[in-house]
Amino acid sequence: MKAFFDSSIKSYGILRIVSQLEKYMPKGVERVLDINEADLDIIHVIGRHDHNVIRSESDLRSGRKYAVLQYVMQSCRNPRPEQWLDLWGKSKVMWSYYNLAEWHPGMYLAPLGADPNVFYKEETEKKYLLGTMGDEYRSECFGEANLAVFRVMGKMIHIGPKYGENPIVTFAQGITDDELRNYYNQCRWFSVLRRNDGFEMIGLEALLCGVRPIMFDTPNYRQWYDGLAEFIPEKSVADTSKNLINVLKSPERTVTQEEMEFVKNKFNWKTIIEGFWEQCLN
């Protein structure tokens, strides 16, 4: 089988997944960089329904099968599962961390993962009360995090674009994984607040570094991170800031060695990716 999995999408999360798809590619599967040479097209769904359907229809007309990796739902223009059945129904595999078995009984239900060989606990100074990551100011709650840290007179690190001059925020872009691991380790908490939905794997990476992530209490996150994350309600900007302040003022909830071992086992990229490829080959 020749598989095409697009790495042109400039997304930290998708590039992570593409690297794992290639790392654990089984014998009998070859990655090709030209979709016209492929037998299988792996479609990363982070946007519009119509664009993805057009691509899937082109695949079928060309004699290619396709697999769907459904990363987001609520933040799409088409936020209801029934609006995606035309894409999912003809797919070889549909993988999501949303439990959509009611709509697609044969779906591959699995979380995203984290690599414990890259992310692990280091003994270092805790310079930052909170860490944040992302390039969507509003949906990823940078403003709420910034206000909360200011109110409790702390410092924060933001991995992503610089949002103006800010005396309490250190900004970092274009960093290596080793630098990212070191930044995780310098935080007491790490924000994984994503309005509607989004990539949560940074919460796993933080956990492997011994740092407790903060997430919105929604079903798509609660199903995988119950007991591991600090949850707050997904509410208005003002309420989110207030709830964050309460968390940041509370005693740090140290991540235990048992929790880190649990994350290593449950969110193991090798197991997750091999399960996906197995379904693609069936």
Instruction: Name the DSSP letter for residue 36.
Output: G
Threshold 0.85, pTM exceeds: yes
Question: What pLDDT sits at residue 75?
Answer: 84
- pLDDT above 90 covers what percent of the chain? 83
Question: What pLDDT sits at residue 96?
Answer: 95
What residue type is assigned to position 172 of the chain?
A
Mean pLDDT confidence for 133-137? 91
pLDDT at residue 156 greater than cutoff 90: yes
pLDDT at residue 160 greater than cutoff 90: yes
| Domains 2-112+268-281 and 128-266 fall in the same CATH topology | yes
Delimit the domains of the chain by residue range.
2-112+268-281, 128-266
Question: Whole-number mean pLDDT of the chain?
Answer: 94
What is the CATH number assigned to the segment(s) 128-266? 3.40.50.2000
Bridge partners, 44 (sequence order): 69
Question: What pLDDT sits at residue 22?
Answer: 95
Question: Rounded to whole angstroms, how far apart are CA atoms 205 and 264?
Answer: 10
Question: What pLDDT sits at residue 253?
Answer: 87
Residues 6 or more apart whose Cβ sits within 8 Å of residue 214: 130, 189, 190, 191, 192, 193, 229, 230, 231, 232, 244, 247
What residue type is assigned to position 162 of the chain?
K
Question: What pLDDT sits at residue 252?
Answer: 84
Q: Locate tokens 């250190």: which residue?
A: 170
Mean pLDDT confidence for 11-34? 93
Query: Sign of dihedral through CA atoms 29, 15, 193, 73?
Result: negative
Question: Rounded to whole angstroms, how far apart are CA atoms 210 and 194?
Answer: 21
The CATH architecture one would assign to domain 2-112+268-281 is 3-Layer(aba) Sandwich (3.40)
Mean pLDDT confidence for 91-97? 95
224-249 confidence digits (pLDDT tens): 999 999 999 999 999 999 999 999 99
pLDDT at residue 198 greater than cutoff 90: no
Give strand ranges (E) for the chain.
Answer: 2-5, 30-31, 40-45, 65-70, 93-96, 108-109, 128-133, 156-159, 169-172, 187-191, 212-216, 230-232
Distances (CA, A) of 193 to 6, 199, 281: 27, 10, 36
Name the pLDDT band for 183 (thresholds 50, 70, 90).
Answer: very high
